[in-house]
Amino acid sequence: MEKEIKIKTGDGKYIYGVLRLPNNGTLLRERPLIIFVHGLTGHKNEHIFFNGSRFFANCDWPSFRFDLYGDEKYSRHLQNCTLDTHAKDLDQVIDYFKNKGVKKIFVAGHSYGGPTILMSQKKRYDAVVLWDSSFDPFKFLKNAKYLGRIQGHKSYIEDWGVAFIIGKYMRDEAIQLTAKKCEELIRSVNVPIKIIVAGKGVLIKGGKRYFKVANKPKAFSIIKNATHCFDEDGAEEKLLQETYDWFLKYK
């Protein structure tokens, strides 16, 4: 069963997401809740989240997937966001479910969703899995070109095959998010954490650096046939199974 949920933020915006409950009708409070966090230009219904919610439902666990920005009324727009914004919204989502009586929350973040989790101020989650997480992210935004002001904000355009717009604050934030800073962020996490990287991707070295400095308990895994979005045959299934196996240890 799925239910659309709208969560109001402290600055008057709304976070739109989908709660999926287990197929056997298990109540939300009876199991850990999985929260999925998408990456830059991503959304809640990418296949790893859409299918992930069904995978966990079949394991008798609820999940919540949500958009960090979108076109719904009073939702955020990407060009007005930063990772700090995303992290605060993640905290807002976790607070919402904690207030509903959920005792344990596990988070899985893909790409830019990784730093979003690491930058959480409250860190009210109980275990983490990073899916091919961004590391030293400015190298992927360094070619962004200045557009001028859009809706009053200084904006840049980046082209990854599909062009997108980010604000000056997100670009400047990425400059500050150096390899050293990324290592500091993961050291601030004091719950079990697993780093999964795509074997055909470009973030293996970054994932290994995350793992080296992360606090225990920790684990590291490479899904050999996978590219960044785990699109290849069998890659998604391996990703979700490894995520479930890690979280199961700490339920």
Burial of 142 (0-12, 13-18, 19+ CB in 10 A): exposed
CB atoms inside a 10 Å sphere around CB 55: 20
Mean pLDDT of the region 168-188: 97
pLDDT 10s digits, 53-65? 999 999 999 999 9
pLDDT 10s digits, 48-104? 999 999 999 999 999 999 999 999 999 999 999 999 999 999 999 999 999 999 999
pLDDT 10s digits, 200-237? 999 999 999 999 999 999 999 999 999 999 999 999 99
Q: Mean pLDDT across the chain, nearest whole number?
A: 96
36 confidence band (pLDDT: 50, 70, 90): very high
CB distance 58 to 23 below 8 Å: yes
pLDDT at 27: 67
Selected residue with higher pLDDT from 232 and 31: 232
pLDDT 10s digits, 115-144? 999 999 999 999 999 999 999 999 889 889
CA distance 228 to 59: 25
Q: What is the DSSP string of the chain?
A: -EEEEEEE-TTS-EEEEEEE--TT---GGGSPEEEEE--TT--TTSHHHHHHHHHHHHTT--EEEEESS-SSTT---GGG--HHHHHHHHHHHHHHHHHTT---EEEEEETTHHHHHHT-SS---SEEEEES---SGGGGTTT-EEEEEETTEEEEEEESSSEEEEEHHHHHHHHH--HHHHHHHHHT--S-EEEEEETTSS-HHHHHHHHHHSPSSEEEEEETT--TT--STTHHHHHHHHHHHHHHTT-
Q: What is the percentage of the chain residues whose pLDDT exceeds 70?
A: 99
Closest residue by Cα to residue 209 from 123, 136, 129, 138: 136
CB distance 98 to 33 below 8 Å: no
pLDDT at 6: 98
In this predicted structure, the answer to whether residue 161 has a pLDDT above a threshold of 90 is no
CA distance 72 to 89: 16
pLDDT at 29: 79
Distance, C-alpha 45 to centroid of its chain: 13
Q: Which domains does the chain have, with CATH numbers?
A: 2-135+178-248 (3.40.50.1820)
